[in-house]
Amino acid sequence: MRTFIIGLFLCLDLSAQSLEKVKSERSLIEVGSFLNFSKFKTKQNAGFYAGYWYRFPVDETKTHLELGTNLGYSKSFYEFNYKKEGLLYPIRSEEFVWNLGARMVKEYHVENMKIEWVSELGLHTLIFNDGDIPKDEPEKNDSQNSYTTNIDTNTATFSSLKIGQGIRFWKNNIGIGVQASYLPYRFWNREITPEGFNSFSVETSLLFKF
């Protein structure tokens, strides 16, 4: 009986450690620096970003999925003409970016280090000051309160696919990474973005699993 109790205790302890280990690797905090290359930048500065990603369990092929988001800011300046209803409006704005996406991650082990190859597909959004672009008037109906106020944030956005490939190096629960991405803005915004607005980006990151 004593042997059975001791064995049961050890099994429960090992199971708890395994569950704790799995749980500790479900969340990933990412902070880093990015540089977007565009011919419409008149001032180029590296930006900083931070984000959260949820890591799904690793399958038998040592592959797992990550879903998450990053928010970044740079003092770089974009200058371009925004086209609306056949008219061009000059834009000069700092760089705010928001990424929402999915990553497929393949794991490799080299001695006591883990290496991950990352393939990312996401939605990349450039947020900019909309300057003198005329606003679209919201449709009103008789049931709306006449005292309703609309808050104008003076911003507009361009959204694009983000297609990236990167590599990470892990030591325990701390990692570093680098990734290159392509941003085809004109895929969705051909009518309002100038020709040549598509760009590339390079990102370096510091990662924490918990």
What does 138-174 look like in DSSP terms, one character per residue? PP--TTS-TT-------EEEEEEEEEEEEEEEEETTE
The answer to whether residues 138 and 150 touch, using CB atoms and an 8 Å cutoff, is yes
44 close to 76: Cβ distance less than 8 angstroms? yes
Strand-strand pairing, 155-171 and 113-129: antiparallel
- Pair of tokens at residue 44: 């180029």
With cut-offs at 50, 70 and 90, classify the pLDDT of residue 193. confident
The yes-or-no verdict on residue 125 having pLDDT over 90 is yes
Give the pLDDT confidence of 147-160 residue by residue, as tens digits. 544 445 567 788 89
| Greatest mean pLDDT among 122-131, 152-161, 174-183 | 174-183
Task: Map residue 8 onto helix, strand or coil.
Answer: helix
pLDDT-derived band at 192 (thresholds 50, 70, 90) equals confident
Closest CA to 181 of 168, 199, 194: 199
pLDDT at residue number 128: 81
b/e code 173-201 from CB counts within 10 Å (16+ = b): eebebebebebebbeebeebbeeebebeb
**Residue 196, Cα to own-chain centre: how many angstroms?**
23
What pLDDT does residue 134 have? 65
Segment 3-31 shows an average pLDDT of 56
Distance CA 35, CA 45 (A): 7
Is 75 or 128 the better-scoring residue by pLDDT?
75
What is the arithmetic mean of pLDDT over 59-69?
Answer: 96
What tokens appear for 123 in the block?
Answer: 């939605």
Q: Which residues contact 92 (CB under 8 A, 6 or more apart)?
A: 42, 77, 78, 79, 129, 131
Q: Cα–Cα distance between 108 and 168 in angstroms, integer?
A: 10
Band of residue 130 on the pLDDT scale cut at 50, 70, 90: low
pLDDT of residue 50: 98
Q: What number is the average pLDDT over the span 59-84?
A: 92
| Neighbouring C-beta atoms of residue 23, cutoff 10 Å | 10
Question: Whole-angstrom Cα distance, residue 97 to residue 165?
Answer: 19
The torsion angle over the Cα atoms of residues 56, 64, 54 and 124, rounded to 10 degrees, is -140
Q: Which two tokens stand for residue 107?
A: 């794991």
Any idea which of 22-26, 35-39, 42-46, 183-187 has the lowest mean pLDDT? Answer: 22-26
Average pLDDT value for the chain: 82
pTM of the predicted model over 0.85: no
